[in-house]
Amino acid sequence: MSAAAAAGTWKLGDLEVNRIGYGAMRLTGNGMMGNSDGRPIDRDIAVGLLHSAFEQGVNHIDTAAFYFSPLRSANELINRALSSWSDDVVVVTKVGPGRDPSGEWLSTVRPDQLRGQVEENLRQLGRDCLDVVNLRAGGSGTASIAEHFGALAELREAGLVRHLGLSAVLPEHVAEAQTIAPVVCVQNSYGLDWRRADESGLVDLCGEQGIAFVPFFAVSGLRREAAAGQEHDACVHSVAAAHHATPAQVRLAWTLHRGPHVLAIPGTTNPAHLAENIAAGSLRLTEEELALLDKPDEGTV
């Protein structure tokens, strides 16, 4: 069994993936909010890192056409890595936000512009059909997503997309989308220090409906795109020491313990951290340790 399979598997529609995946944003050296900018790693090294992830069993990659910096595009790097890889890897991308060639964010995309964003991902990834496309609805509040999701459902019927998901949404958005087309995954910010998806009931809702819940920022938490800072949580340190693990591994393990439908997509450009992230899937926390980490006075938001 591969390292990434230690946490088990889940299906995105008919696509079975190991619960430990990989988020590609960090490969570009550029965070979405500008707080993790840095020179990206060499292209060949980036491709090698992706191949290492695949060799360790990662078969679920998260990306987006708007993951790019002046020198790197996440989709381009994934395309290069997959062009010389024989096994199946599920690529999940997202649409909704957009950036111009200089990197400036564009205004909210109209439903009729989503086809162009899907086609952009198809070109960059070198595919004729995208495995999964998430509609990122961040910033929409409680506004309806029916028109946008309906446009993606039409592209699914046209054969450009295999499965659909949602990102940065509320439970009511999931209910609305499910009346239009099946939702196979939901991506929201979620982790030990940021549990809005628990407060809203979104994590449990996804489990009840057989939808994968895919947290982002599960390790970095409130630091978002920035690398995880020095760990100050004594409980996390205590649990990590008991397992001879790192605090990041404990945070990932806590997330995976939330339910069999919860996946993880930690990103890194460090080979050692990649191996540690994947190994977190085999970390089994006790009920006492989970209760310790769940104490509300330990920084839960």
Catalytic positions? 67
Residue 246 contacts residue 230 (beta carbons within 8 Å): no
Strand partners of residue 164 = 133, 183
Other residues' Cβ atoms within 10 Å of the Cβ of residue 139: 10
Q: How many CB atoms lie within 10 A of CB 284?
A: 12
If DSSP states are collapsed to H, E and C, what string results for 145-184? CHHHHHHHHHHHHCCCEEEEEEECCCHHHHHHHHCCCCEE
Instruction: State how far the alpha carbon of 17 is from the alpha carbons of 7, 39, 55, 189, 258, in Å.
Output: 11, 31, 14, 20, 18
Helices 146-157 and 114-125: angle between axes, nearest 10 degrees: 50
The Cα 25–Cα 189 span in angstroms is 15
